[in-house]
């Protein structure tokens, strides 16, 4: 049987690297959406294997809502130019800053809403019709953060607030379908392994287990809470409706 494939947006980031590790260690393939070759090299460095085996890199602009973005990737999949996929993980990042609301320019607000909110929304709209047409069960996973509730970092916090509503709507809309949509709500700091060790935070490879369990299990239309080390070992999922 052909291995399943996970399409990952933000694949080179802290969360994306954990998703890539989860997919590869569960014998799945990865369709890593990257901006350029430098990003692809960064990902190979962070996964630590020194090899791109199991990973297909696709260059696209995840911030664009047209054929330059995920819409174009899905068109290339449908044309047979890029491998098909059964799972999507969305974790594009923006600025992680404590800047006051008064110091956030309109330009930065729009850029961060584009990167952290719109990219997920565009990807959902482009990939869900494709997943609904698949004969097998599929998943769509979004990483959000507790900043949306605590707002010590106003700029990323506001983007998470928007994602919470998006995730709830997506969970409702896919409830009766072959797509298991879930939001992974992260209340801890995760970084790529070498940075995590320096900063004493959770390593991407430790966090990878959460996504492996989401892929393997039957959790659906839920918020998966990751707020303690225990949550890294056992999936804690709640339904918000």
Ligand X SMILES: NC(=O)c1ccc[n+]([C@@H]2O[C@H](COP(=O)([O-])OP(=O)(O)OC[C@H]3O[C@@H](n4cnc5c(N)ncnc54)[C@H](OP(=O)(O)O)[C@@H]3O)[C@@H](O)[C@H]2O)c1
Contact of 22 with 205, CB cutoff 8 Å? no
Pick out residues in 98-157 that bind ligand X (CB under 6 A): 115-116, 143, 145, 156
> Site map for ligand X, 201-230, x if CB under 6 A?
------------------------------
Q: Which string of x and - marks every residue 39-78 that binds ligand X (by CB under 6 A)?
A: x--x------------------xxx---------------
| Shortest reach from residue 171's CB to ligand X, in Å | 18
Distances (CA, A) of 118 to 103, 126, 203, 228: 22, 12, 27, 29
* Helix%, strand%, coil% for the chain, nearest 5: 45, 20, 35
Query: Considering the rule CB under 6 A, would residue 92 count as an interface residue with ligand X?
Result: yes
Least spacing, CB of residue 13 vs ligand X, in Å: 2
Gap between the Cα atoms of 129 and 199, Å rounded:
41
Q: Residue 170 is encoded by which pair of tokens? A: 């997506």
Quote the least distance from Cβ 230 to ligand X, whole Å: 17
Whether the Cβ atoms of residue 17 and residue 43 lie closer than 8 Å to each other: yes
What are the residues binding ligand X (CB under 6 A)?
10-16, 35, 39, 42, 61-63, 91-93, 115-116, 143, 145, 156, 160, 186, 189-190
């Amino acid at each position: 049987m052909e291995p399943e494939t996970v399409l990952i947006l933000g694949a080179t980031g802290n969360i994306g690297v954990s998703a890539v590790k989860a997919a590869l260690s569960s014998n799945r393939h990865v369709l890593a959406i990257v901006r350029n070759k430098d990003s692809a090299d960064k990902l190979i460095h962070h996964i630590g294997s020194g090899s791109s085996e199991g990973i297909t890199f696709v260059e696209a602009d995840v911030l664009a809502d047209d054929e330059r973005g995920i819409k174009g990737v899905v068109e290339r999949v449908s044309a047979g130019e890029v491998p098909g996929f059964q799972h999507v993980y969305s974790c594009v990042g923006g600025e992680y800053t404590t800047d006051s609301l008064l110091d956030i320019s309109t330009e930065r607000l729009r850029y961060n809403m584009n990167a952290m909110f719109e990219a997920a929304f565009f990807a959902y709209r482009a990939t869900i019709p494709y997943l609904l047409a698949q004969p097998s069960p599929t998943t769509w996973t979004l990483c959000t953060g507790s900043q949306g509730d605590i707002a010590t970092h106003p700029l990323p916090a506001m983007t998470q607030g928007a994602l919470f509503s998006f995730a709830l709507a997506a969970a409702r809309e896919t409830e009766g379908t072959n797509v298991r949509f879930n939001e992974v709500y992260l209340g801890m700091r995760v970084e790529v392994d070498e940075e995590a060790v320096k900063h004493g935070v959770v390593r991407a490879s430790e966090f990878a287990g959460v996504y492996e369990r989401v892929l393997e299990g039957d959790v659906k239309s839920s918020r998966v809470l990751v707020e303690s080390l225990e949550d890294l070992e056992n999936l804690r999922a709640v339904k918000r409706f």
